[in-house]
Structure 1
Amino acid sequence: MSEHQAQDLLLQAEKKLNSWTWFNSTNKQEDAAEIYEKAGNTFKLAQRWKDAGNAYVKAAELYKTTPDLHYESSKSFENAAKCLKRIDAEDKETSNFRNAAKHHQEIAEIYETDIIDLNGAKENWEEASNLYMADDSQAKYCSMDLSFENTREYQFLLGILSCIENNDQDLFSQKVYEFDQLTKLDNWKISILLKIKKSMDMTLL
């Protein structure tokens, strides 16, 4: 039901923008922005994160055209970024690192250009870069051995990459332990994994 309501709101917003009025067009844009914002909220209730994010961006861009509504514009851009982060989390869970990287790139652009939060932009640019590298590593392993995707080693690699991206040390240790129970890790692999674990510890300092 929420999705249909949201779609109706999008149509209302477009109709409002395209309507002719005797009054200042700024009022028309503000009204349309409010409707887009409602559509974003409704899509969010339906967990349609991409659609919600798009609606919030449209609202933000319309608010931005009015000097007195820059705060509303900033809040809508922030809501859009939050929706993109939800999509990003889902992509990470399914090891879709390239899509996750693209979402972080979009978030970084919002922080840099619209919210003017340079620290937030920097964090998301770095996260996008890390995810692109993770995706490249994943693709490289698979191209070396076409059967690699179906192996326990591949699943282990995806698991620890996800732990690194989320800085989840407990799950990282659990993944290593579970893999070692089935396929004994040699000393060289253990030393590499310990270095990775140590680098994760350092990020918390």
Structure 2
Amino acid sequence: MAPQSQAQILLSKADKKYHSSPGWFSSGSTKYEEAGDMYQHAANQFKIEKSFKDAGDAFAKEADCRQRANETNDAANAWWNAAKAYKQGFPDLAVNALGQTITYLTKAGRFRQAADREKEIAQIHLQESGDLRKACESFERAGEWYAQEDATATANGCLKDAADLHAELDEFLPAITLYERVANHSLTSSLTKYSVKEYWMRAALCALAAQDTVLAKRNMAKYAAQDATFPSTREARFVDILVEAIENGDPEAFTGAVVEYDQVLKLDNWKTSILLKIKKTINDEVSLA
């Protein structure tokens, strides 16, 4: 049998303490406090040994001890430490641990920290599992919590990410609602006002992807009423040309406008994807004519 590592020895001692009977002059709470400290030491040793699954499991056991000892803040922190260990190759376990952390944080009214953890969950869903639906839900939830805590810039970032994902999922109307919400927030500050034209253009592209040029034109008029400089921007002129091309059933004019725009302002992956969706609707209509 291979010799136990230092972390395994510490874990065995912690397990023994956890399952021991309280002494004459100590309480069950004291027992769990001591066991929690021992599980924490074992978890940190597992991290040193790069055994991240074992480290996460030990932190989870620490969290159980902290809860039994009524140390709820320490329990939340232990679950967060578990999540950070699990993120080294075990995304599903990391999401579960972060969810446990959020439960403690929201009960304590610590919504800013809960939003931070929910944003982490969104990023795991997006980067590790590619689950756009769950990532979208987590970004939106985090954005709401940030907004409640007056962390407006961070809230806007999360809500914009949620809007992008709604559009990727072909849920264009919820995407428009979120883009407009972020734009409205951004209009209130001279530091963020410059980004409004980007959000409005994305919202307009979503309307076109939904095959609703009437909605796109109505919204563009609404945006112009909110900011008189918007119609003269490159973004607004681009949308106007696209609307005309769609209404004329002219895919060549549409493509020409996209190429010209890309030469001046490089299209990102999101815009490229949604423009392809929009162009397909034109081509489909032309083929049916």
Taking the aligned partners of 1:38 and 1:59, their CA distance within structure 2 comes to 10
| 3-state SS of 1:86 partner | coil
| TM-score between both structures, scaled by the size of structure 2 | 0.39
The equivalent of 1:170 in structure 2 is none
Taking the aligned partners of 1:45 and 1:75, their CA distance within structure 2 comes to 19
The equivalent of 2:222 in structure 1 is none
The equivalent of 1:14 in structure 2 is 15
The equivalences for 1:121-140 within 5 A come to: 121-130=117-126, 131-133=128-130
The equivalent of 1:79 in structure 2 is 81
Please state how far the C-alpha of 1:134 moved relative to its aligned partner.
6.3
Please state how far the C-alpha of 1:44 moved relative to its aligned partner.
0.8
Taking the aligned partners of 1:105 and 1:196, their CA distance within structure 2 comes to 27
Taking the aligned partners of 2:44 and 2:118, their CA distance within structure 1 comes to 27
2:72 is equivalent to residue 60 of structure 1:
no
Kept in 2: contact 1:44–1:52 (CA 8 A)? yes
Q: Which amino acid aligns with 2:76?
A: S
Taking the aligned partners of 1:125 and 1:28, their CA distance within structure 2 comes to 33
State which of 82, 102, 113 in structure 1 corresponds to 2:103: 113
Kept in 2: contact 1:17–1:28 (CA 8 A)? yes
Kept in 2: contact 1:107–1:121 (CA 8 A)? no
| 3-state SS of 1:47 partner | coil
The equivalent of 1:47 in structure 2 is 50
Taking the aligned partners of 2:41 and 2:95, their CA distance within structure 1 comes to 25
Please state how far the C-alpha of 1:45 moved relative to its aligned partner.
0.6
Please state how far the C-alpha of 1:34 moved relative to its aligned partner.
0.8
Runs in 1 of length 4+ with deviation above 3 angstroms? Answer: 114-117, 131-135
Kept in 2: contact 1:77–1:115 (CA 8 A)? no
Deviations 1:167-190 (A, max 9, x none): xxxxxxxxxxxxxxxxxxxx9xx9
Taking the aligned partners of 2:85 and 2:59, their CA distance within structure 1 comes to 9
State which of 189, 196, 200 in structure 1 corresponds to 2:269: 196
Structure showing the higher helix proportion among its residues: 1
Taking the aligned partners of 1:65 and 1:194, their CA distance within structure 2 comes to 54
Please state how far the C-alpha of 1:8 moved relative to its aligned partner.
1.0
Residues 82 and 30 of structure 1: is their aligned pair in 2 closer, same or farther, counting only changes over 3 Å? same
Taking the aligned partners of 2:8 and 2:94, their CA distance within structure 1 comes to 26
The higher radius of gyration belongs to 2
Kept in 1: contact 2:83–2:95 (CA 8 A)? no
| 3-state SS of 2:50 partner | coil
The equivalences for 1:145-164 within 5 A come to: none
| Alignment RMSD | 3.4
Taking the aligned partners of 1:129 and 1:47, their CA distance within structure 2 comes to 23
Residues 66 and 110 of structure 1: is their aligned pair in 2 closer, same or farther, counting only changes over 3 Å? same
Kept in 1: contact 2:87–2:94 (CA 8 A)? yes
Deviations 1:78-115 (A, max 9, x none): 21121122335xxxxxxxxxxx4x24522431332234
Bigger relative CO (Cα 8 Å, ≥ 6 apart): 1
Q: Which runs of 5+ in 2 are unaligned?
A: 107-112, 133-254, 273-289
